[in-house]
Structure 1
């Protein structure tokens, strides 16, 4: 029974994620009924979607990040620091990690990778940025920022 339950749980996870292939002897995704929560027709939009935020970083830099209406892309602008005026738009992935906390990540054109934990209750952002330096060596750094909503 425990083995069948495990197989059913795996089938449900694969079905909901839309990934994976079941092999002979495993439960099928059809053996599992989706809960009311998974039957929703419209995906939930994250609370940051459609808003712009200023990030005032511990190194003195200031960035403006504007998220699309569905929260699936970000447009960034360097306001203060090196490369003032630099802008980009990139697809963003996000997952809720707390009540008003999200892990948000994207790869900017040119290869800069940003991974951040945004806490909307505390108005803080902890983030790691990595990129290639002028010699082609991958470098990165961990930063802390204050967050303020501007739109």
Structure 2
């Protein structure tokens, strides 16, 4: 029953029927308060609906379980949601913690760069983004130069 309801809630969200999905998943979360996957999917549907503040406790509940299957997604969701809410210090802490589990993840680093910008740490934000871009291979033969200047943005000759 739980699996069927969870699958239905995810399907409804994916079909763009997020309000129906939210009702179903929130009810499932009340009945299964310790189920990390249910909490994660419930958080996600709240985010989909622009209900970021309501999503946060579900993300936190999901991440409390070290066995959550999509911890990377939950970290990304929580961190980006905290950033949207203007809770920049908490967002940065979330991304730093997440990078401890998923070192080098480009998505986490990109959202962290946005958070650094919001915190007024623009040089660090640009440096982080330049490193992500260089590692992506999308700078052609300029990778070494981009990697160098990521840490030397103010250098001139």
Q: TM class, shorter-chain normalised?
A: under 0.3
Q: Report which of the two structures shows the higher radius of gyration computed on alpha carbons.
A: 1
TM-score norm. by structure 1 comes to 0.26
User: TM-score, normalised on structure 2?
Assistant: 0.25
Larger helix fraction of residues: 2
Structure holding more strand per residue: 1
